[in-house]
Structure 1
C-alpha cells in the first residue's frame, strides 16, 4: 500500500498509483479490473478482498464503494445522460475526485477530456465499440477487424493522448489490433472483449459471478450466484411468513423476548390504577 493524499487533501493509502500502472505496462504485466453495479458496498469489498487490481463504479454511488474499499484504486464513471453541460461534468468530476476517486472515466468528447485533464485530474476515455454510440458505428459488433478500422481506432487513441487522458478503454477490439494499439500508446489500455491485447483486462462483476442470464461473447462466468440468490430469497420469504404467522397465533412475542414486571411491582401498579379517578367525570 502506498500512502497518498487525495485530490481533496486527505491522507489515504492505495493499492496502486498511476506510476505503478505505467510500470506494469512497461513490464508487460496484466492487471485486472471489475466493477460494482448491484450491491455496491458488498461488490466493492469483494473486489478489493479478491486481489483484483482496479475497481470501477458510477460516480453517483462512488462513496459507497470507497467506504467498502478504502484502499482500492477506484475509477469513477461519469455517466453521459444525467450530466449534460461541461460545467455539470466538471462539478461532478471535482466532487468525486475530492472524495478520493483516483481516475475519472467518460465517453464524452475530447473537449470534455481536455477540460478535466487541464484541471489535473486523471481521465480515462473510450475507443473501439462504445455501446451508447453504436447506432453510428453499425450496431453492437467487434471493432478493428480490418486494418483500416484498427488504424482508425489508433488515431482515436492518439487524440485522447493529445487531450491529456491517462488511460483508454478498448471495448470489443480485435486482439491483434488491441495489442498493436497498446504497444504504440503511453496510455494505460483497459480491455473488455479485446483478448490479451490490453494492459488491463476488465470484466463485469455480474458476468464473473454468473449473474448475467445471457453472457456476451467476450465474457465468462467464474461463479454461479443465481441459485444462492434464489435460496436466500426463499429463506427470507419463509422467515417473514413465519414471523407473521407467529404474531397472528400469539406465539410471538414469547417469554424469551418479553420483559415483565416483578410480581410485587405489578400488584402495586394494579392497586394504583384501581384508585385512579377517570380523566373525565
Structure 2
C-alpha cells in the first residue's frame, strides 16, 4: 500500500514503505524486498518490478530519486566521506534532504545514537560486515558457534538500545537469525541470513547476473553479463568493419556526404583561381 508522507525536504510525497510501516510488519517474514540502486535506471527498474526498498550510496540519492519517487531509500554513509561527528550528521542530513528515508551505518554505537537523537531513522549492520572482515579472518558466516551467536544477540540488543530502528543482518545462520529476530524489536533486513526477516535483501548485480561470480547466499535471475559480452563483441565487430571500409575507400559514399550544386562549385573554383 502506498503511504503519503512529508519527506525530509518537507515535500508532499508517497512511499511504498515507511519506518512506521516496517515496524508494524514486525514478525511478517518477507513483507518487503530490498535491492541496491545507485542510478535512476536501477531505481526505476526496481519500482517497476514491485520492489519496495533500495539501498544506495549517500551521494547517489538524488540520482536514485530521479528514477523513483516512491521507493523507500536507505542511504549508506561511507566511512571515508564522513569521519567526524559533524561530517556524519552533515552527510546524513544531505542524503535525507536529497530524498533518502533512512541511513545505514556500521560505525560505533555512539554514531547510531548521534543520528537517532536527531530522529534520523538508522539501520545498523551486524553479522558479517565486509569492510571489517579482517577481524573474522575471511569471508564467512558469522554466528555459527555458540560464542559468536551470544555475541550477536548482545550486539542486537546494544544496537536497539543505541536507537537504531532496523538492522541489516548479513551472513548469519538462518536459525540464529530467526531466534534473535524474534527476541528483538529491530526490523530485520536479511542479506544471506535466511527468510525470517521483515525485509529480504539482495544486491541488484547478483540478481541480474552482472558479475561472473554469484555469492552462495544469492540467486541469479538474469544474465546481464552475457548481454554486455554481446555488446562488447558487437562493438568490436562494428569498429573493425568501419576500419576495413575506410581502408578500401568504401566509406564514406556519396550518399553519406554533403552535396554541393555544380554551379556553386564552379563559381568557387573560378573565384579562388582567378
Distance 2:113 2:54 in 1: 23
How many angstroms does 1:210 deviate by?
Answer: 2.1
Q: 5+ residue gaps in structure 2?
A: none
The aligned counterpart of 2:17 is 16
Counterparts in 2 of 1:241 and 1:5: CA distance versus 1, 3 Å? farther
Root mean square deviation, CA, Å: 2.4
Distance 1:70 1:79 in 2: 23
Distance 2:149 2:117 in 1: 28
DSSP-derived class of the 1:191 partner: strand
Distance 1:254 1:203 in 2: 54
TM-score of the pair, normalised by structure 2: 0.88
Distance 2:207 2:31 in 1: 17
Distance 1:119 1:254 in 2: 68
Q: 5+ residue gaps in structure 1?
A: none
Do the aligned partners of 1:54 and 1:72 also contact (CA within 8 Å) in 2?
yes
The aligned counterpart of 2:26 is 25
How many angstroms does 1:77 deviate by?
Answer: 0.8
Do the aligned partners of 1:134 and 1:140 also contact (CA within 8 Å) in 2?
yes
Counterparts in 2 of 1:60 and 1:4: CA distance versus 1, 3 Å? same
Per-residue CA distance 1:39-76 (angstroms, 9 max, x = gap): x3332222221112211111122222221222211111
Distance 1:168 1:29 in 2: 15
How many angstroms does 1:185 deviate by?
Answer: 1.7
DSSP-derived class of the 1:116 partner: helix
Q: Summarize the alignment of residues 87-102 of structure 1 with structure 2, pairs less than 5 Å apart.
A: 87-102=86-101
Per-residue CA distance 1:91-139 (angstroms, 9 max, x = gap): 1111110011011011111111111111121111111111211222343
DSSP-derived class of the 1:8 partner: coil
TM-score of the pair, normalised by structure 1: 0.86
How many angstroms does 1:167 deviate by?
Answer: 0.8
Q: Summarize the alignment of residues 184-263 of structure 1 with structure 2, pairs less than 5 Å apart.
A: 184-246=183-245, 249=249, 251-252=251-252, 254-255=254-255, 257-260=256-259, 263=261
The aligned counterpart of 2:165 is 166
How many angstroms does 1:10 deviate by?
Answer: 2.2
Distance 2:121 2:102 in 1: 5
Distance 1:120 1:201 in 2: 25
Distance 1:5 1:84 in 2: 29
Farther off after superposition, 216-225 or 123-132 = 216-225
Distance 1:5 1:211 in 2: 35
DSSP-derived class of the 1:25 partner: coil
Larger relative contact order (Cα-Cα within 8 Å, sequence gap ≥ 6): 2
Distance 2:254 2:192 in 1: 57
Report the number of matched residues.
272
